[in-house]
Structure 1
Amino acid sequence: MKLTILRLTTLSQQDQIDLAKIWPNEDIAALEKSLNENSRIYAARFNERLLGALKLAIAGTQGKISQLEVREVTRRRGVGQYLLEETMAQNGSISDWWVADDGSADQSERAAFMQACGFRAQADGWVK
């Protein structure tokens, strides 16, 4: 089965379980209630399981990505990069992108990942 990047608008029971593994400190029920046109979740799905996810806040032509995470067992296989690239491609009206430096990954790993995705470092995140 192919890795698919999709916008989550409602969460199935399995989605809730998977997101709790991706973001263990997140209130998943509250997160689902907060979803709307300007507050979105994009996720990488493979074999009916979510492997990674990110939050996207939209304000006009600006997109702010936070909590970009990939499950530990799936890292270093291109899931995060594909998730980021496809989220940007699916939101073509956004011209200014910013990614928060709020992931749990090692900072040197995060820097290498963001640079590989074409982002430049800022004090509190990454821009493209």
Structure 2
Amino acid sequence: MPVIVETLNSPSEQDRVDLAKIYADAPDWLLAPHADAAALVEHGLAEGLLVAGRFNDRLLGAALLARGEQHWRLSHLCVRKVTRHRGVARRLVEQSALLAEQAGKSLHLAAPRDHLESQALAARFHLPLESL
């Protein structure tokens, strides 16, 4: 069963638990400028920016997807520690890029410029990297 990428508009209580678990292991730099994981999730939900990867009715990864006029911007990408290296982030990036392309926009990855893992991710998907 593949990871299904969706925009979260009305998350269930289980979705909220899963989102808390996803961002529980996130480093502080990934949460900025939000005070904590809960604030990041609430902002994403309130603004309609939160996209998530679902497998077997559980959320495994999430990110913020801002749909700008010039381009779309993917940021705060995080996958649960226990499910990393299984293609969840790849699926989130690929699906976000496809949605952006269908809207006639390009997708940019937003992360700290000096963060090597983010640079590698941007290079792997041929995405421009923007500073957070």
TM-score normalized with structure 2 length: 0.75
Which residue of structure 1 lines up, in the alignment, with residue 122 of structure 2? Answer: 114
- The answer to which of 27-36 and 66-75 deviates more is 27-36
Structure 2 counterparts to residues 1-128 of structure 1, below 5 A: 1-24=1-24, 25-27=36-38, 30-31=42-43, 34-36=46-48, 40-91=49-100, 92-101=102-111, 107-121=115-129, 124=131
Larger relative helix fraction? 2
Unaligned runs of 5+ in 1: none
| Residues 9, 35 of structure 1: 8 Å contact kept | no
User: How far 1:30 sits from its partner (Å)?
Assistant: 3.0
Q: Distance between the aligned counterparts of 1:21 and 1:98, measured in 2?
A: 26
Q: Distance between the aligned counterparts of 1:33 and 1:49, measured in 2?
A: 17
Tell me which amino acid in the other structure corresponds to 1:115: A
Q: Distance between the aligned counterparts of 1:13 and 1:80, measured in 2?
A: 23
Q: Distance between the aligned counterparts of 2:116 and 2:42, measured in 1?
A: 32
Change (3 A) 1:61 1:93: farther
Larger relative strand fraction? 1
Q: Secondary structure at the match of 2:47?
A: coil
Aligned-pair Cα RMSD in Å = 2.4
| Residues 75, 110 of structure 2: 8 Å contact kept | yes
TM-score normalized with structure 1 length: 0.77
Unaligned runs of 5+ in 2: 25-35
> Once the two structures are aligned, what percentage of the paired residues are identical?
31
